[in-house]
Structure 1
Amino acid sequence: MASTRIERRLAAIMAADVVGYSRLVEQDEESTLIAFRDIRGSVISPLLAEHRGRIVKLMGDGVLAEFGSVVDAVACAIAIQERTATSQELVAPERRIVFRIGINLGDVVVEGEDLLGDGVNIAARLEQLCTPGGVMVSGTAYDHLKGKLNVPFDFTGQKRVKNISQPVRTYALRMAGNEQGWRWRSQIIHHWPLVAPLAVMLLLMGAGLWWWSQGTKPTIREPAVAETAIGNPIIGKPSIAVLPFDNLGGDDASRRLAAGMTEDIITDLSRYRDLDVMASNATAAYTSKPVDIRAVAKALNVHYVLEGSIQRSGEQVRVTAQLIEADRGTHLWSDRWDRPATDVFAVQTEVAEQVATRLAASGGAIPEAERAAGRRARPEDLKAYDLYRMGQEEMAHLTKESIEEAIRLLEQAVDEDPKLARAWVALAAAQDLTMRYGADADTARAAAMQAIRRGVELDPRDAAAHATLGHILGMAGDLPRAQAEFETALRLNPSDVGILTSYAGWASKFGEPERGAQAADRAIRLNPNYSASAAGYYRLAYMMAGRYEDALRLVEHEDPLTRTRGGWVQAAVTYAALGRQEEARATVLEALNRYPDLTTESFALNSPGYTDSERQRLVEGMQSAGFPPCIKPEQLQAMLAPVHRLPECQTVSPQ
């Protein structure tokens, strides 16, 4: 007997239904049916036609539709939610028609005009998981959307759904009008791609005229080939390492000047999007050492190396620089400058531009607009600059005493040269750090804010200034303005490792976990010698984006003896998320041995600095790993209200 051949095809499936339909019908059946029919006729059907979709079937309270493209399906879903909300602005809230929409890209079975199979079932399950007024897409749909639709998604976890054997990656589309947790109203500005143009203008104006004039979001470049995120080169564009400039003067002032020149050249080069520039920490091991250029290039996965020297004699300086193609050992360019000492800052700009001109795309040409866009204000006073560098060195020690000394030196620097913007920026960062060592938060934050606003005012094109302002605003709870400042910083300098690292830690708070993970990828590539504190930012970024394999690589590279309380939580959650329960349990036991009061409530719900979505992910992860859920009664007595509680712990109260 001949078998009937089953027809299959790949399709984007949209499932939509009305939230609380039974309640609406029970309250007023006739009005509900009329309202739904009107929306279907005036909103859904025209939008399906506009986005090349077709209705597969109509249910009493919903619609199943097919699209040839995921982009069309998501664009149609957004339009349906927006138009439905607009059409009911005069309707009482309790009588409004509100949709949930799920979208999946998958294989479907064709039976006449009907569609069956897992591709349809997953879309229907996603619709059930979706928040009212929102859109949820599967991982397969999300993967096909990257770079094609400028809308923000939040990764919402691997979900097990009915009748589907494997967990489904899920992503929620962040839309104006969706409930987003305890502090949604304070974060509505995050939905900028979908709000009215006036709201966009207000946000952009807050970030400054330069950023507003660009009109697009900065891109955090991903690898051009599919490779692991940890430590591999970005292929397809020039990569360069700037070795520490040799100090031929011998004294500490010349040493600081040489170190400053190296870092400033790296900063200047990093603003060019066509160059991949290693961080100064990645090359610090080569200070004052004879090196094999080819070995250095191989170790750092770069194609080019820049090396040079600086010698100061009285009020004169001599600077040399040479650019080497590492594979063949060929000298592409070299130069020497004999200048007054005050011209050293102009020389470092010339070095950066000479290198960029030879290595950038389009035959070496870089538009003048791009040259000007990221160029920082030059220092004018060498004494003030030396004080600034001394202050930075003190800050790096990260002790209470060193931070206090840094503030003293940086205050001297701005007294010596009130226009030295980068010293104001460093002073703001130092003031912010005092809170780690017991300083009054309100006083420290006010001092930091005053200093950073002065720094940004003096040099609005200094990317580090905007990133520092973003961090300070974020710590004060002003996430919309913090996000705007980070966006500006990334536009001005898309390859600055410090900015990328800080953004990786903040991105999920801005509702951008995927971009945070991309920032971590890029920061690790540009600085494989990242610090333990930076690793904490990267692990958090990977966890919030659901990239637990990448988080695990960082966990396994970490020395457990230096692991912090948060680091133990991250390690246990990572093991649990990957199904390695035995290692998760062992990590939890060791964490509790070191921190006996560590519970899901005390860390996930009551540690400062996390947003609601981050807390929810931590709660789920810590529960899966096996941490004790509830704060101990004796701890509750010592905690200041309000204390956030898990539902199962509500009955636990102080004795």
Structure 2
Amino acid sequence: MASQAAAATGLIGRTKDSSEGAAVGAMPGKPTGALRFGPFELDFDRYELRLDGRPVPLEPRTFDLIALLACNRGRTVTRDEIFRELWPGRFVSDAALSSQIRSARKALGDDGTRQAVIATVHGRGFRLRSNPDPDVAGSTPTTRHAPAQRHELLPCIAVLPCAPTGDDGRGAVIAEGLTEDLINALSRNRWMRVVTRNSAFALGRSGEPLDEVLDRLGADYAVTGSVRLAGDRVRAVFQVTQTPGLRCIWSERFDRPFRDIFDLQDELSELVAARIASQLGISEQKRAARLRPGSLGAWELYQLGSAEFYRFTGAGNRRCQELMRQSIARAPDFPEPYARLAYAMILESVYFDGPTDQTHLDEALRLADRSVMLDDQEANSFFALGRVQLARGEYGLAIDALETALELNPCHALSHCGLGDTLVSDGRPEAAIPCFERALALSPQDPFRWAFMSYRSLAHMFAGDCEGAVHWARSATLVPNAHYWARAKLISWLAHSGDLDAAHANVAPLKRGCPGFSREFARSRLFFVRDPSHLEFFLDGLRRAGVP
């Protein structure tokens, strides 16, 4: 903590009993030891906020703000003081301060309406109350630690009213319908909390600044948008803003012909919901990575594991499994890490050098079943179950699970891809191709998009379209995080198309990606393929290309 905050309370160089609310050491300009208020404890040595002894996930600047207010408990800390302490020598907007206040309140179980812990002194600044209400402080579900109910772990998003432009009344009708449909579509993602329509509409139309609206709604993200009509064309623009900092993390424009209004709203709400879900996942992974290890809760561990998962490396997969098990240990009733762990185990068997024995597959099935048991309305749980069942050779059950996932959430791009892959394995490549088309349309920047393309190449090849197979396999290899299996498929399809020179040229990059790759290795990893002729066809292409 900076010297001004400590000097204001006369705490530098001496210690106070915790019953008086503070304990700081003699390090000039920076408190040490611990400071207690209500159920919370600030540990200056570990740079940690704890609630009843458990670390609370917190970003460094939010810690500094809470520390500044705590060291001046009962006194109003002016906005100018906060700016000087948190952003010395920098010019930042009022929105940045408002976002930090909101984050501090959230960490302390408070909000802008109750102000049970941090009070706003209008026109002056903020004050940490001398005696925070013990029945309120720490009660808001923000600590994300076990034991916790599932909703206590999840990020919150507010969809604010879409703004129509122009005098055409149709624009207002489309805008309001789009907002409602988008709330409904996003709500199908059970890993996020979506603010109700009435609350979002009431505050979204209040004219208050966005940061204050989000503070009152308790939202981590805001979706805003606009709709314009010009003749028979509709243009819709959407943005996602993240707090703190009111930073735009995603924006996209959609131009469509004006046709049946319900078809238009269905199409746009599903596309926007799928792309927002993908971006929020990436944003939450980055947020978790900024936290100190001691501040990680079940949700943050899950997100860090997901980031490792999407590296598509053997080491990343193993690290993912470790983090998922830690997340489960923190919150045993949190379904998402069970599903991700089950799928990581299957990818370990297929993509890397993990075990392929029945015991391994049985454990993956048990984890996927547990995820479904914890929440039978979660699409991702049924997706994981379907992928486990495919690896076990239970093709009909896999299709049933993936179709259930899509009934629960038609915007779940991974389930469209998984269903397509299973249909190919089941000998129905023509039926699979629309599944891959839908997956790519819903989430064109998905971390798994290389798989959407790579699996699609299988469908084209076994449907007799060699040119399409080569195109999609090559497209998959161009994605930065593409797994080496995508190149293996490209090599086989090029060989079968007669382009042996190109096939040979891709063997060296394949070996760089997987030095031990061989036809025998491929055979051992593709243990789940239903039709032996499909496996032999793939291996024959590798043989023609010179893969040992």
Shorter-chain TM-score tier: 0.3 to 0.5
TM-score by length of 1: 0.37
Q: Larger Rg: 1 or 2?
A: 1
Q: So what's the TM-score if we normalise by structure 2?
A: 0.44
